[in-house]
Amino acid sequence: MTLLDLLRDSFIVGIDIVKPGVYAYAVAINNVTVEKGQVSDIDLLRIIKKYRPLVLAIDNLRELLDIGKLFVKRLAKLPFSVHIVQVTRVGPGVEVCTEELAREYLGLDVQKLDPEETAEVLTRLVLKGVGSIVRLYEPETKIIIKARLGTKEGGMSRVRYERNIRHRIKQLVEEISRKLDQEGLDYDLFFTDSEGVRSATFIVYADKSVVRRIVKPLRSMDVNVVIEQVMSDTIKFSSLTGDETLELKPSDKYIIVGVDPGIVTGVAVLDLNGRVLALHSGRNLSRRKVLDIVYRYGTPIIVATDVAKVPDYVKKLSSMTNSVLYSPDRDLSVTEKSEIVSKICQEQKIQVKDPHQRDALAAAYKAYLAYKNKLEKAQEEVRKLNAPIPLDEVKVLVIRGLSIKQAIETVLKRMKKSGEYKVIVVKEQDTTAVQKAEELERRVRILESEIEKLISEKKELEEKLNEAVSRAYVEAKRDIMVRSLQSRITQLETELERAKQKIRMLESEIERIRELFEKILLTNDLVIVPRLDIYEKCKIKHGVTYMYSISDLSHLENMDDISTIIVEVDPKDKIRRKAWIEYSKIIITLDELKDSLTKICDRILVVDKEKLEEVCKKVKERYSSELTEDTLERLVSEYRYLRSKMYYT
């Protein structure tokens, strides 16, 4: 049944672009328009979801792809399939304007249609079988499972969240795989990591409508499941009255294909002489897409992988192309693959863009090397026959397992049966020429033997050289390490000596402080001077404190039990005078005490009592002449009081 047969009792939506983001539309069923107008692309999608049309009719595909790219992508995510029909394309390479089609098929006398009229006319023309189906999408469906939120920036729960997401996605992958297997649908599964959270992508080789009956989209708090049709890289057309059959047409040229499957798949194409024809890599490449690429260069005879355990993706590709499957005895290491590819790049002047192309090329070339000797012998045997035998055809049969003799006989039989075989009469050659030819062949064999011997000797010498270089490298590395360790030992010994000196200095300081405290306890020759901020907390007070500097004297009024203040920064003379005359406070500096002062810590000083009294006496004498009689009596009284207090404490 054709699409035209299905249009009866089905909705058709015709659209025409008014301007970017705005569409004129008409919805019709059985030639009756049920709704029309102008809407945005978002609202147009809502209308399409509402009526679920079988066909979306357009008049200009290029305009739709240029202006409505986002709209086309959103169509791929609809829960049902919509056939796009370009009404103006009436045949291969033949396009006719909408107005002309309206006059011819609908009998309308119009010169210029506005967008809404165009949309309505398009729906009617489709029912007449006018136009071509546009194949914008492959018969493949993509199922994407991914986390809704990233975890790159997270708190203490980040690891636990990632673990939960991974577990959730793994469950969904297992569930979807089971459903697809039960329905017998062919698919490929790819995994990847994004922001620390694993995601998965299915490529299902079935129409979206089939997949949607089995798997439903999901939008949860942590994970999304999105189902969308896979867009085609090329645009194909088919008639409304017939079905299109898409066949991959094999070429007479035979090739070797290397494949590195994954979320990014690498593809390498070689001819049967080991020459690189193409390198390609892409994300989420379906097998159909890989075959589209491969068949541009020829028919695959070998499909190769770089690992011993052949991935299912590669097995299925080999089965689809009826080619020989090649895998190495063991997984090829990165070093091996890099060496192989580096050699090919130098010899053939090619460039490999990424590791996926590298792995695919290494796999293909390894497969070529596995058959190289047989293929060269087959070529030599065909050459000796001096007959127009298709060499690649012989090589293909040899790769498929026939002996060289059997392969040549098989090709000759086919040629004879098809009439391609021609008897070639070779004139009798003189004996001398034959003997000369035999002699030359013998000399060639001798030279080839000598070449092989020289190659073998060269290989042995290279191995010995590599061993010598390796030993020299190890010894050099060891010497460097020894020198580095010796330097580190010297550095540590220096640091140890510095630490010992510091310990001795600290021990000496501890001993000095211990002796100082003994003297304080056993004699009355020293005065403990606390810093001003801890003065009130001290149990032993001598009426003496110290601070870094003094400039504001107003706070001296609250220092009734303090008679002397020691400062580090020498204040101005007028400040010292004012402190004595107005507040009866003596201000002295650390420099005036000199060697009679010991700093136990930042907050405590110890001062020689005799030296402190001497300095205080000098300060008082300096400013006494400026005192009034009343002030002098007050100061003498306070001094006597504090003197007696210092003595008894």
pLDDT one-digit tens code per residue, 522-555 = 777 788 888 887 877 776 667 888 777 776 666 6
Lowest mean pLDDT among 189-203, 250-264, 327-341, 529-543: 189-203
How many C-alpha atoms does 628 have within 13 Å on its Cβ side? Answer: 4
Token pair of 457 as six digits: 């000797």
* Alpha-carbon dihedral angle through residues 570, 573, 577, 579, given to the nearest 10 degrees: -30
Q: Domains of the chain: which residue ranges?
A: 3-130, 140-239, 383-418, 484-523, 526-648
pLDDT in tens, 160-178: 777 888 888 888 999 999 9
For residue 28, what are the β-bridge partners? 12, 33
Question: Where on the phi/psi map is residue 558: left (φ > 0), alpha (ψ -120 to 50), or beta?
Answer: alpha
- Helices (DSSP H) in 523-605: which residue ranges? 573-583, 590-593
Question: Is the pLDDT reported for residue 422 higher than 80?
Answer: no
- Nearest Cα to 7, choosing from 120, 125, 136? 125
Q: Domain spanning 3-130 has what CATH number?
A: 3.30.420.200
- Helices (DSSP H) in 91-221: which residue ranges? 98-105, 115-127, 158-183, 208-214
- The neighbour count for residue 86, using CB atoms within 10 Å, is 21
From 3.30.70, 3.30.160, 2.60.40, 3.40.50, which CATH number describes the 140-239 domain? 3.30.70
φ/ψ of 17, rounded to 5, equals -75, 120
CA distances from 137 to 207, 232, 294 (A): 10, 5, 20
The better pLDDT of the pair 198, 118 is held by 118
Lowest mean pLDDT among 6-10, 302-306, 399-403, 532-536: 532-536
pLDDT in tens, 5-43: 778 788 999 999 888 888 999 999 988 999 999 999 889
Amino acid at 6: L
Mutual orientation of helices 312-321 and 287-294 as an angle, nearest 10°?
50
> Is 415 buried (19+), middle (13-18) or exposed (0-12) by CB count in 10 A?
middle
Helix H, strand E, coil C: the string for 72-85 is HHHHCCCCCCCEEE
φ/ψ of 602, rounded to 5, equals -65, -25
* pLDDT for residue 116: 92
The percent of residues above 70 in pLDDT, for the chain, comes to 86
Rounded to whole angstroms, the Cα distance separating 246 from 231 reads: 16
| 3-state DSSP assignment of residue 352 | coil
Identify the H or E element spanning 59. none
